[in-house]
Structures are given as C-alpha cells and as structure tokens.
Structure 1
C-alpha cells in the first residue's frame, strides 16, 4: 500500500432552507388607565425567538410578537399601547441531523392594527420563519505521494517503485470560523436647548444603517450607525408632541479567537435588543437619554486554501491499483458590493395638506433571488413609512406606508443554479420631499452585498496499491512504437497508455513543451526501469 499525503479541509456546507409562515391574530382591550382610540397612527412589531429545539428532522420554534401601536386619543393627543402574542411552530426539515448547524431568522411580512371599537384593537400579523441548515464536516484529499519503500519488482530484486503523478490546482473555501456573538452599544444623548424636557416617551424606533463587520487578527471589527427616532410629550406646560431624530455612529471590536484579517467574511448583523431611557440632567430636568442596543453577529469566516490535489497516477515499473472517491468542497466565485437607486413619486391620500415630514424609514424586503448568466438577479420592495404633520387640527399627525419595487443585478461570473449565496442588505439613504400638491418624491439608495459560493465535487484518490509487473507481457511489448496524436490526446494520457513518462517522451522526440496537436507524430520507446 502506497503512503499518500492527505490534506484535511474543514467545510461548511449549506444543506437546505425551509420557510414557513405563521399567522398571528389576537384582540387587545385598552386598559382602563388609557384613553379611547380614535385613530391608529403607527404600528410596529418585533419577533423575539427562543433557542430552537432540534429533534428527529423537526425544528420546534417558540417566540412572541412584541407589538406597539401609537394612536390618537378621542380627546386629542397621542398614546401608545403594546403587548405580546406568543406562538409555537413545528417545522419539518427532511435530512436534518443532530450534528447540523441550525439557525432561525424571521421576516415581518405584514402587520396590521385595526380598530374594533374605541376600547378594542385587532392585531394581525404574518411572519415568515426561515430555518437554515448547514453541515459542518471535514473532507480529505490526497495531495502528494509519501515516502516510497523498496519492494519486489517481480524479478526477485528489491527496487523503488517508479510512480508518475498528476495534480490539479484547486482553491477550496474552507470554513475557518462559524460562531455567534453579540456586541453592545451604550450611548448618552442630550436634548438641544430648543426642545422642551421629556414628559413621556410615546414612540421609539431604532435601526441599523451602513453596519459592516470585518475580521482582524483575533477579533471582529464593527462599524455603523444607529438611527434613532423618538416621539415624546413635552414636560409641564409644554405638553405638545415633540420628536427627535439622531444618527449615532458606533465602532468597536468583539474578541474572536481564530479570526485572521485575510479571511473572507459572511457576517449577518441583526439588532436584537433596543431601549431608550430618559434621565435627569444636572438641573433635574429630563433632558438626557440613555441608549442601549445589542447587535447579534452570525459569523462565517472563510479561508481560501490553494491545493494541488492528486488527480491521477500510474506505475512505470509496477502495476498500480488506484481506489478513487469523491470530495466535495466550496469555491468562492465572487464577493460583490453594489448600490441600487430608487426614485418614485407617490400620491398621498386623505386630503390634508402636508406641513412637514417628521420621519421616514425604509425596510428592504427581498422577494426573489435567481441565478442568471454570470449574475444574481434580485427583486424585492422597499417598504417606506412616512410620518408627517398636516393642517387638520383634528388629526395633526398622519402616517403612510408605501411599497417601492426594485430590481438589481449583482455580477457573479460562473454562478449556477447550484451556487449558494449570502446577502447583506440595508438602506444607505432615504429622503422624502413634497413635489407639489399631494405628490411626494421618495429617493433611496440600497446597499446590497453578495458572497457567492460554488459547491464542487471532484474525483480524488483514496488509496493506491502496487504489485509486481508481469514480466512476460513486458517482454512481448514492442520496443519502439510510432504514434499519431489524436483529438483530445494529452502528453500525460499517451505516456500512461504506453507505460512511460512524459519526460521520457519529450526527451525522445525533442519536445520543448507538453503541448500536442492532432496529427503530430511521436516515437515511443519502451522504458526499461528497475
């Protein structure tokens, strides 16, 4: 048995993704301490997931919808109502094994807070749960021959086997690190002197913008911005509705043993916790705000490993029996970062005149991703929420939600239907301005970053066994053969067929390169080796 030098490759293989939709529907009574509902202004919802339970090709997902509703009171002014809707869903995942890596994420497809009567709300939501299954495994490939030992060549003498080997170059995207971690952002904000102190916070939004994560040696570096929007009532005699919009830049590092700067990242970032608490300043007025946010990092770090894998071998002075198998690994096709611009004009309904836009926010929702010719085609919508002041004293604050479609082609040379891609998406810019009458012009720039991996399965040599040559057949073979090169012939194929070496063929025929052409004539001389 010949000794083979093998290389181990640690792989992260995407196995499957199963999506299921959960419909949540519940009614909520307005507490006695709160005012009657005249109109719903804003609604929002976040899904809080517990760790998934995996058992026998099934994943059990438990969680709750944390919703908030900002409404106009019948007597005027604003108030906020919130609540939780628990759920449990069992998802069938064929082929799921206990050792697989399972991650669960969610997308809010629809959320609607409807008024049943002034004391009762109907909350309806459609949530898509995405169960993604990855397999962590090791694959081996022979890259060279080990040390050769003398053995009987069939004549009773001990000689070294002469083995011709052929290699092929492969770039394997080995998974270097697969982990989850969190990063906390704590910041202090102070109200400007032109704004009244805070009496009561009515509404809070916080989202990530332009967040990037990249590996350094022994750590992960994060940079981005937290976009914060608050609606609050002024304190004391200033109980008018106020709003505050701030951009809070952040940067920092998460310790990550094993990370190296040259690694290729595929890191998903999600805001999993957010809170803002009002605090008194030195004068005792509520003019300070303490921000607390937790960002979850779902980390994949890839490392390209250039390998020279043994693709073929044969014996020149020995018979050689080769056992082959299949090794599967990923190759990185491309990492593409691009921007998609959206510009649309929409018409506001309601008949009120817009005095001022208070706030605009956008959420990217991907509907379809399809591999085309050297590109990944992305189709989706940007869900835009606009909050604005009107000239109607009975309902001075209004909101509208619009869906703006987009299409983007990400360059990905060599992509196929079997390729696996990871998409990071976000909103870089979003503006809304009046364009005359009740027409609003919305402009946005979306950030779309794609990492494309190509699964590749190739034949590899598992083991090889030598045995002595058949001396009788060797003597019967002609000493010299004339050969005309055929279509698709290579120097390696010819040398293997006539049990010689490529170097010997080149020397005999005075060739200066291995390149052959159909119709070339070669002299093949039997090589006597011991």
Structure 2
C-alpha cells in the first residue's frame, strides 16, 4: 500500500501594500506668557503613532504630529512654542483578513510653520502612511513515500525529488532600547539659563542577530540651543554625538537567522542640570529606541515533485506552492557630494548645525539590480551678519540615484529597503556656496518567490496491461530538446538506473541528439 509522508510548512508572504497621504492644517495662538512673534527661525516635527487597528478591509491609524517652533520675539529674544495635531486616518487595504500581519510605516513629507500675525501661527504638514500586509499560510507537501516494502505485493515506485531553499519568518519581536548620557559644556561655553531647542537623530545604526539576542550599535547626535546666563549674551549652542551599543534578549533567535529590523526614535528628552560645583553646565540626555524585528530562518527542504510505478498505475494530486527564498541581504553605501547656495547665503557668518533626512521617492527593478531614486533633505542653521536676523535656517533638497547590484532580481522580487544617514557635513566655501557631503546607507532584504509543483496526494490501481503491451519492449530513441532522463524513463515504462546501465551512462545528464536504447521494464 502506497502512502505519502507529508510535512506541514508554515510560511509568510507579502500580500500587498496600500498608501495614504494626509494633509494636516491647524492654527495656534501664542500663549499670553510668551512674546509676540517677529520671525520663525526653525520648525521641527515627529509623527507619533498611538494605535493601528484593522477593521474589515481597512487599517485605521491613530496618532499625532508633535511639533516645536523656534521663533524670534518682538523684543529680540528666542522662544519655543510646542504643539500637536491629532489625526485618525483609514487606509483601504483590499483583501485584508483578520489573520494578516500589518506593518505601518510613516514619513513626514513636509512641515511648514507660517506667521499669520504676531499672536497666531499656522502649521501645515503632509504625512504619508504606508501599510504593508503579510499573510500566514500552511502547505502540506509530500517529502517521502512509503510503499510498504514488507508486503510481497508492494508497488515499485520511482520518485523525483527537488531541493528547495525556503525562508520563513521564525520570530517577530518588538522591544525598546534606552540611551542615557550626560553632556558637559566645554570651558568656553556660558552657563545654561534655559534650553531653547534640541534635536536628536539616529546615525549609523547597525544590528546583528546572535544566539538568543540582537546586538545594536550606532550614534545619537544631539544638538542643543540655549540661552546663556547674563544680560545681552549671544545665543549658545552645543553639539555632541553619543555612541551607543548594547543587546536585547530574544529567546529563540540564532546567529544563522537573517534579520530585518526597523529602528525608530520614539522618545527624546534633554534637561539642564547643575554640575558638582552647582553651576548649570550639564545636560542630561534620555532617548528611547523602538526596534521592530523580523527574523527569517533559511531551510533547505527536499520535496517529492513526481512519482510513477513500473507495476502500478499511479494517479497524483498535484498543486503549486509558493515559497520565498532570500535572494540577498546587503547594506550599500551611497556617497553624496553637492554644492548648494542657500537663500541669503551672502549673510552667512558661520554654520552652527546641519541635519539631514533620507527620503526614497522610487525604486525600480531592472536587469542590473535595484535602482533607487530619492532626496537628501538638508537643513542648515547659521549665524548671519544681519543684527536684526542674527540666526536663520535653510532647507535644501539634494537628489540622488543609486544602483544596488542584485543578481537574479526581477519584477516578482519582494524588496524591503531601509534607508539611513551615516555621515553628514556642511562647509562654507565662500561666495555664498556650501559644500554638503553625506553617506547614505541602504539596507536591502530581497525575497524571491519560488513556485514549486508539490504532490498533495496519490492513489494506486493495477497496471493497465493493454497500455503496457502497446509499448515496445525495446526501442531506439533520439533525445529531444525538452527531455530529461526522468521524462524518458517514465514515458517508456522503465527506470533511470536501467537506462543508464543499458547505455553505459555515468551520469544522469543527456543532451538533444543523444541516441539511447530503451528497454521496457516489467516489475
């Protein structure tokens, strides 16, 4: 009696994605305790997602834009105005099911703070939400056949096997990593009266999966503008990059797993504090990173792809299964060097600070790899020669194009691209131009779908003697272009071993035009 030995394979695959763009627009009144607004110097914002829920065939994202505005008051001093705009956005995702896994990515495309009057500001922003959906499914595939060899009437079965490289998600894990440090002012800096502005970004973040843990390292550049102690003192600033490294416990992780990790800075805080002498010369830094991790496990499986018997008629129930294999996991570096001329560049005395953000506009699969188009958004903060406008900012967009070489990539390949910024510098060249140099990291995980014929079931019946008698007992045969030794042996009711022995073949490779003697086998 013939029985198939099956294996249940649990898989995940990309089901699709949907994008929605939100326009946020609101007006804000300057509190009575703050000065009138003369000029907006800087504005910055972060998207905070509070919840992501699926409802029928849509995903509802709730969150807020948290922003802060640095402005010059009518009396000449700098002040900061924080605020937030809440949103609730439904994103239609056709075919979404309750069992599906949802991943939400967001991007603050544009943030613009405008002056309506000295007591009223407008804040406008464009936010892009992208929902990516994965689905889980199970495949029962035959991996072996049990013919019941202990029985004297057992079928004689020839089997064709195929090795398939399969990558499935072994673990999904979210965790947080905290960074705490203290910045001490250098001797040439004034004591801190109050902090006016602070920025934190992530740079050069790398992760590495090991047995039972995820290793993490990178840099946290911190930039702070503060009002110094004393009357009529110039605005002060301090900039320092805090290196960090550590590990997160992930039970079940192993060093041979391939990881896809998204890292977000979800909390950041700075606070001035006195040093050991009681002077306000230290800044406590507190930041929290969120890591959204997927760990893929690669496995080589041997599946049955075809069966036949020389003493039975076999009827196979076949199907096609889709597996994903890891085509490549690669971190590429894109160098950017550009000369820019900011507005009012002739007034620049000194660049205080430069910051950048990488935004991907388009990815396209071509024969030579994945082509990436995007922009590097650079923001400069600088001192000017104009006493009425001592500090200004400018934003410049630098386009870039990069080719990630990926042999074997095609239109069916599923790509997961995480961009990052590793290095950025902005230097005055004179004549009102600024040279910007940057290194952009492009972390690519490419999954290649593989479609394989599998055997889901098989039934047997006595051999059809009439059909068997119609086949010649011995025949000469010329190999055709689409032939394989398996196809030939199956068609002429023999076995590969018999064909090789009869024709003196040393391997199973045949080519068109080869001449073979085929002998029908009767088991």
Normalization by structure 2: what TM-score?
0.96
More off after superposition, 400-409 vs 520-529: 520-529
Distance 1:487 1:106, change over 3 A: closer
Distance 1:33 1:13, change over 3 A: same
SS at match of 2:106: strand
Q: Please report how far the alpha carbon of residue 67 of structure 1 lies from its aligned counterpart in structure 2 after TM superposition.
A: 0.6
Q: CA offsets per residue over residues 213-251 of structure 1, 9 Å max, x none?
A: 111101111010101000011124575311010100000
1:310 paired with 2:310, answer: no
Q: Please report how far the alpha carbon of residue 162 of structure 1 lies from its aligned counterpart in structure 2 after TM superposition.
A: 0.9
SS at match of 2:89: strand
1:33 paired with 2:27, answer: no
Which residues in structure 2 correspond to 1:59-70 (within 5 Å)?
Answer: 59-70=59-70
Say whether the 8 Å CA contact 2:217–2:245 is kept in structure 1. Answer: yes
1:330 paired with 2:324, answer: yes
Q: CA offsets per residue over residues 125-179 of structure 1, 9 Å max, x none?
A: 111111111112333332222362556xxxxxx4221110111221111211122
Say whether the 8 Å CA contact 1:352–1:392 is kept in structure 2. Answer: no
Distance 1:150 1:475, change over 3 A: farther
Q: Distance in 1 between matches of 2:146 and 2:272?
A: 70
Q: Distance in 2 between matches of 1:350 and 1:386?
A: 12
- 2:313 counterpart residue number: 319
Q: Please report how far the alpha carbon of residue 442 of structure 1 lies from its aligned counterpart in structure 2 after TM superposition.
A: 1.2
RMSD of aligned C-alpha atoms? 1.7
More off after superposition, 182-191 vs 388-397: 182-191
More off after superposition, 335-344 vs 97-106: 335-344
Q: Distance in 1 between matches of 2:335 and 2:395?
A: 19
- 1:420 counterpart residue number: 414
Which residues in structure 2 correspond to 1:372-391 (within 5 Å)?
Answer: 372-391=366-385
Q: Please report how far the alpha carbon of residue 275 of structure 1 lies from its aligned counterpart in structure 2 after TM superposition.
A: 0.9
Say whether the 8 Å CA contact 1:199–1:239 is kept in structure 2. Answer: no
1:185 paired with 2:176, answer: no
- 2:46 counterpart residue number: 46
- 1:13 counterpart residue number: 13
Say whether the 8 Å CA contact 1:140–1:327 is kept in structure 2. Answer: no
- 1:272 counterpart residue number: 266
Q: Which runs of 5+ in 2 are unaligned?
A: none
- 1:154 counterpart residue number: none
Q: Distance in 1 between matches of 2:168 and 2:9?
A: 6
SS at match of 1:141: strand
Which residues in structure 2 correspond to 1:428-507 (within 5 Å)?
Answer: 428-471=422-465, 473-474=467-468, 477-507=471-501
1:355 alignment partner, one of 331, 349, 361: 349
Q: CA offsets per residue over residues 297-356 of structure 1, 9 Å max, x none?
A: 111111221122211111111111111012111111122222111121122322653221
Q: Which runs of 5+ in 1 are unaligned?
A: 152-157
- 1:511 counterpart residue number: 505
More off after superposition, 245-254 vs 347-356: 347-356
Say whether the 8 Å CA contact 2:100–2:135 is kept in structure 1. Answer: yes
